[in-house]
Structure 1
């Protein structure tokens, strides 16, 4: 059983309460919001873009906007799903929006799983319970309270990430890096050159490349290409999308250019990838 908060809220909390007999299944779909899945008890299976991850206790699983997503919750499982929509900046503050579009996207696009430290378990659970209660109360300040609670929850996640990372790693991004990843997420379909992002950030392309490479190990152009490929791959997983349609969606003016781009990123041609996906879906 899944208990939902009102749809109009920018932050939605759903309580997972699977009974002892039935398996709950969320059918495959393209994710619209950021979704955080936290299993407190029990097990299940999380499929993201064709990759399967076994759900276990004290781990957070994330589906990002645009992910091809399926969730299976085994009987007796309990936990929470938190969804939030970063396309509504009028209802959340700018720091909240920046966090979502930078470190959260960057980390979880690489691996959609994060094991939690038991020491933070109770604090994080209390934040989710508070968001759930505030949503049910639907007070005049519910959006602001829930947004602040979500920021704290995200900061605890970020703390876990930084403890797992080298101190010089990307997850300790300064203001420039946060803005860069936010811009890439916003404009990657129309702006594919590093020079555009450098101009928007009032720095030189060389300086931006240097800062991004020092933080992540890869130049700025790498992250643009990876984001483009990730989006192309998601669209390709649907039988109804042709190469021409995906190329148009990603603003490639030349289909042959898109075809070469896809093969260079994937190692196989677009048609071969589609055939493999169709076999896997059967």
Structure 2
């Protein structure tokens, strides 16, 4: 397979500073942009989790081909692998946090702990949250504390940074739940998260809701009703959306042909892939690719 054209950054490759921590980075947004904006405003991926809070400024932020207008006290959460880019003015302020998949594993002894938070679902719209006014000060204070502890004697304060970051996640999670129109039983959330995790693992080889239902030990009707109830979509739609998203990500790679992408995604032939892509995106793969590269020159 051809190498991916869109850059993938880890924490060390972004910081490029001697002795940089490969599991965690915290910075003020203005400082971060001053150091790295020249290459990070182009579409790229991360190998780490990414948190971005704006407290001042204007511009746009695109995550997996969905563009959001930046607003003060808007917070963004991204998981490894998502494609994003930003275009900001010169008066930005806020905070940025990067942490690896390993950052919490030894601390929590739970490899799927991040899955409990809806904003780390990997769905662009679910990872963007406008903070209510009563959370502005508390959120900023938590991030200020993280900056303080991460900036001095890192080894002695690593656990404090983890606790503060978890406190932030739990605070946002509670706010989301409190502002939701309905309370969702934990059992349903666990099942939905399990389904999404399976899709992320198997979307290339498993396309039928029945096969996922078997893996989850539920009936296809139960799985479909769960998705309709919580998301207003069918189980089949979630699977197709994940395949379409990966197709779009791969199409950003100018070195891969459409035929290679169709093969990578396990389509029977190129024409079937073209029909699938046009049906669910409204344009052909070649049209999408041309539009993407025109917009990101």
| TM-score bucket (shorter structure) | 0.7 to 0.9
Q: Give yes or no for contact 2:57–2:89 (8 Å, CA) kept in 1.
A: yes
State how 1:123-202 maps to structure 2 within 5 Å.
Answer: 123-136=138-151, 137-139=153-155, 142=158, 144-167=159-182, 173-202=188-217
Q: Give yes or no for contact 2:64–2:83 (8 Å, CA) kept in 1.
A: yes
State how 1:263-278 maps to structure 2 within 5 Å.
Answer: 263-278=278-293
Q: Report the CA distance between 1:229 and its aligned residue.
A: 0.7
With over 3 angstroms needed to count, the CA separation of the structure-2 counterparts of 1:267 and 1:190, relative to structure 1, is same
CA distance in 1, matches of 2:277, 2:107: 36
Q: Give yes or no for contact 1:22–1:74 (8 Å, CA) kept in 2.
A: no
CA distance in 2, matches of 1:155, 1:171: 15
CA distance in 2, matches of 1:88, 1:259: 40
* Aligned match for 1:13, one of 26, 30, 33: 26
CA distance in 2, matches of 1:72, 1:170: 39
- Of 44-53 and 243-252, more deviation after overlay is shown by 44-53
CA distance in 2, matches of 1:204, 1:184: 16
Partner residue, 1:238:
253
Structure 2 gaps of 5+ residues are 1-13
**TM-score, length-scaled by structure 2:** 0.77
Q: Report the CA distance between 1:117 and its aligned residue.
A: 1.0
Report the secondary structure of 1:31's partner residue.
strand
State how 1:1-282 maps to structure 2 within 5 Å.
Answer: 6-9=20-23, 11-18=24-31, 24-25=37-38, 26-32=40-46, 33-86=48-101, 90-91=105-106, 93=108, 97-100=112-115, 103-106=118-121, 108-110=123-125, 113-136=128-151, 137-139=153-155, 142=158, 144-167=159-182, 173-282=188-297
Q: Give yes or no for contact 2:115–2:193 (8 Å, CA) kept in 1.
A: no
Report the secondary structure of 1:139's partner residue.
helix
CA distance in 1, matches of 2:288, 2:237: 21
Q: Give yes or no for contact 1:30–1:66 (8 Å, CA) kept in 2.
A: no
Number of corresponding residues: 278
Structure 1 gaps of 5+ residues are none
